[in-house]
Amino acid sequence: MFKRFVATALCSALVVSGFSYVHHVDAGPPPHSNAKVENVIFMIPDGYSSSYATNYRHYKGEATILDSMLVGMMKTDSADNRVTDSAAAGTAMATGVKTNNGMVSVTPDGEAVDTILEAANDAGKTTGLVATSTITHATPAVFGAHVESRGSEADIALQLIDEVDVLFGGGKNNFLPKSLGGQQADRHLIEEAKANGYQFVETRDELRSLNGKGDKVLGLFAAGGMAPELDRDETNEPSLAEMTKGAIDTLSKDKQGFFLMVEGSQIDWAGHAHDAAWAMKDSEAFEEAVEEALEFAKKDRKTLVVVAGDHDTGGMTVGGYDEYLSKVEILHDVTATGDYMSSQLNEDRSNAKEILRTYANIDLTSDEEERIHTAGADDIAFTINTIISERAYVGWSTTAHSGVDVPLYAFGPSSDSFSGLLDNTDVPKRIAEAMKIDFAQ
C-alpha cells in the first residue's frame, strides 16, 4: 500500500507488488512556514490525472518526485461543461475565473480578466512561460493573453511578446509574417522583440550558451509544436528540463522575484493519440523539469512550487482489456511514437512486423498485423498505439478529455495552503496570497 509522502520527510520507503520504492526528500522550509514567497514556479503536466501518476510510478519502478509533493486534489469543470478543455481549465488556473471551453482568459461574455502572471508583473516581478507545444497554445496563452478563441494564436503571439520576459517553446511561425511563411499579417515579431531587448534563440545549443545572460529571452525551437520526448534526439531542440533551468537562470536574477509557468504540453497530446509510451516518456521529461524547479527551490528557500494537471486526457486506466494485469514497464522498449512508426511503413505496409520489432520490441501476431494492414490511412498510428497499449494493459475510454479530479502537488513555504479538495479557480488566488500580491477578481 502506498503511503502519502510529506514534505518534511527526509526519506520514505515502501513496498508495492514486490518492488521496493525509496525516495529522498530535502524538506527545505516546512509547508506551514511563514517564510516570504518571492518566487512561484507553477508547473502544469497537461492532461495528467491520477491514472497517469500511477502508471508512471509503475513505469519508473519507484516513487516519483511528485509522490513526495502530493497535498490535495483539484476539480476541473469549466463554466459551460463538466468536461473542460485546456483553454477553460487554464483560464481558471490563471485567473481564478471560470469561462467556457475554447476561451482564453476572458469571461463567457468576452470580458478580459487579469491573470496571476500579470499580477506578478504589476508587483514588479519578472515572468516566464515554458511549453513543449507552441508557446501560443491554450495553456501558456491563458497566462499572458486574452482572446475569445484559443485558435487565434497569431493574436496571442502579439500579446505575449509585450507581456512576458521569458518565452520558451515552439510556434515560431506564429511570430513570423506571412511573407516568410508565418501567421502574422505584416509584422515580424521576432525582429520586433530583438529591437525591444529580447535575446532570441532557436536551438538547444543557443539556449545552453545563454547561461543566464540577458533579462529577456525569446526561445522558439520549432515552427509548430516541439518534438515528442521520444523523438527529440532527432532534433536540436532542448528538453523541458533544459528550458525550465534556462528560464529560472534568467528570471532569478531579479531581486524582486519571479513567476514562471512550465507546461509539459505533450502528455495531453499522447493521451489524445492513445500513445502510452509517448505519455510515459513525456511524463518522465516533466518529472526532470520538476527536479530542476525543486533544486532551485531547496537552495532558494523562498520559492513555492505548485504542480497540477489541468484535466485528464483519454480516460487512461491502470490495467484494462478485461484482465487483472498491468505491464506498463514494457513501454521502456518503445523508442518512437506511433506517428513516427507509421511514417516508416512502406506503401503496402508489408514491413509492419519489422517496424514494430525495431521500435517497440513487439512481435506482431497475425491478427495485429492484419489490423495495421487494414487500418484507414488516417488511423494507422492510432492502430499501432492501440496494439502497444493492449500489450502494456494501459486502457483508454475516450480520445477527448474526461472530467475527473486531478492530483495537486506543492513544495515550499505556503504549500500546505493547497491541501484538500480545491477548485481550479482557487489555485491562482492561493498563489497570490502566498506571494502577498494584489489579485482581486
Q: How far apart are CA 272 and CA 281, in angstroms?
A: 15
Q: How far apart are CA 348 and CA 75, in angstroms?
A: 47
Give kind and range of the element (H or E) at residue 300. Answer: helix 276-300
**Contact between 427 and 419 (Cβ < 8 Å):** no
What's the gap between Cα 277 and its chain centre?
16
DSSP 108-132: TTS-B---HHHHHHHTT-EEEEEEE
Q: What is the DSSP letter of 179?
A: G
| 86 among known catalytic residues | yes
Number of neighbouring beta carbons within 10 Å of residue 30 = 15
Q: How far apart are CA 376 and CA 382, in angstroms?
A: 10
Give kind and range of the element (H or E) at residue 130. Answer: strand 126-134
Which residue in 86, 133, 252, 414 is the catalytic one?
86
Which grid coordinates are listed for 264?
509539459
Q: How far apart are CA 146 and CA 149, in angstroms?
A: 9
**Contact between 386 and 367 (Cβ < 8 Å):** no
3-state SS, residue 308: strand
Query: What are the CA-CA distances from residue 252 to residues 3, 132, 214, 279, 393 (Å)?
Result: 34, 22, 12, 31, 43
Q: How far apart are CA 247 and CA 239, in angstroms?
A: 12
In the block, residue with C-alpha cell 521520444: 230
Amino acid at position 429, single letter: K
Question: What are the residue numbers of the active site?
Answer: 86
